[in-house]
Amino acid sequence: EAKAPAAQVGQTGPLSRDAIENAAYAPPAQPTPQQGSAQPPAQTQAQPDPALIRAQVLLERARFSPGAIDGLAGSNMKQAISAFQKAQGLPVNGQLDAEVMGRLRAVGAGAITTTYQITQQDIAGPYLGAVPTDLAAQGQAEHMGYANIVEALAERFHVTEALLRAMNPGADFNRVGQSLLVPAVNHTPLPADVDHIDVDKSEGSVRAFDADGKLIAYFPATIGSGDNPTPTGTVKVNGVARNPDYTYDPSKLSYGDGKEKVVVKPGPNNPVGVVWIDLNKPSYGIHGTPDPELVGKTASHGCVRLTNWDAWTLADKVKPGVTVRFI
């Protein structure tokens, strides 16, 4: 039986290629209470803004990561804009305006979107289906890969799964050759080796500097928690492990209520994601995450959690002995 023609992507709709490349950004109007009503108007689900998608791609291109690209005006994006404004010598208010967009455009020339065609390898996986969340079940899994092709492609293009679907309405993700509209994200290495790192616990961010003290990358981060706070002071990097196992050893950890040692196999849905940057404080590190959309929004067990792609980018230029300062 012949399949219907593959859905055309990027041509029409609120998140078309043209809208993402060119739409002007207008801050949302503040709702006003209806006259005679004590109840505020019902909150509607925020919809991705094509101009914010463009700004988030440009921020990442300039090395000021907004975390997972979602087209929404969230806290990670505001912090990334603030960091960019500070680096550019602009007034720091975290607001996207014409001056910020102009400078971002100057730093990150080129198209914001590109087209990707799904391959047989993309469809083949292997995928987990349901990702186990219980640590004991994770320890039994053969691998901790992606749940499905949508999660895999979303991570490859640094977007949330919701935005990938919204940019490609009607797309058949199980069709070889299906075209997808995706962000033209930055896959190039950082411009220099990392000399030292600042982890800002109050802001929830990681800044990487070169040997001259120049800021070369900014990343949003999930840092510490009440039951197992992130350390204060200065530590050093021991080394980097890519695609690591994750070991839960209750005799060495101060969190969790597990009684047995569990080793979880590698994969992007491993509890520490695809990278572990080991610090010379036992059981502490900078690492990836199985939930990129939650970075900067949830607590970590004392470690520093980045999106998998940000952790990979940072690890690529980190060597043993790099200083990490918690401030």
36-88 tens-digit pLDDT? 545 555 556 789 999 999 999 999 999 999 999 999 999 999 999 999 999 99
Using only C-alpha atoms, the chain has a radius of gyration, in whole angstroms, of 21
**Whether the predicted pLDDT of 33 surpasses 60:** no
Domains along the sequence of the chain with CATH: 1-25+49-187 (no CATH), 196-326 (2.40.440.10)
DSSP 201: T
For position 201, what pLDDT does the model report? 92
Name which residue leads in pLDDT, 35 or 102.
Answer: 102
Question: For residue 293, which of 145, 160, 151 has the smallest C-alpha distance?
Answer: 160
How does residue 11 score in pLDDT terms, banded at 50, 70 and 90? confident
199-226 pLDDT, tens per residue?
Answer: 999 999 999 999 999 999 999 999 976 5
Q: Which residues of 8-19 are buried (b: 16+ CB within 10 A; e: fewer)?
A: ebbeebebbbeb
pTM: 0.90
117-170 pLDDT, tens per residue?
Answer: 999 999 999 999 999 989 999 999 999 999 999 999 999 999 999 999 999 999
Tell me whether strands 196-200 and 323-326 are parallel, antiparallel or unpaired.
parallel
Integer Cα distance of 165 and 325 in angstroms: 39
For position 215, what pLDDT does the model report? 97
For position 6, what pLDDT does the model report? 67
Lowest-pLDDT choice from 187-201, 238-252, 269-283, 307-321: 238-252
For position 269, what pLDDT does the model report? 97
Hey, what are 200's tokens? 């800002």
Cis peptide leading into residue 126 (ω within 30°): yes
Integer Cα distance of 296 and 310 in angstroms: 13
217-254 pLDDT, tens per residue?
Answer: 999 999 976 556 677 899 999 999 999 999 988 776 55
Average pLDDT, the chain: 90
- The number of C-alpha atoms within 13 Å of 89 and in the hemisphere containing its C-beta is 0
* Mean pLDDT in residue range 14-39: 75
Share of residues in the chain with pLDDT > 90 (%): 76
**Whether the predicted pLDDT of 2 surpasses 70:** no
Hey, what are 53's tokens? 């998608």
282-299 pLDDT, tens per residue?
Answer: 889 999 999 999 998 766
Q: In what order do the strands lie in the sheet with 323-326?
A: 215-220, 205-209, 196-200, 323-326, 233-242, 275-279, 285-287, 304-305, 222-223
Integer Cα distance of 159 and 78 in angstroms: 17
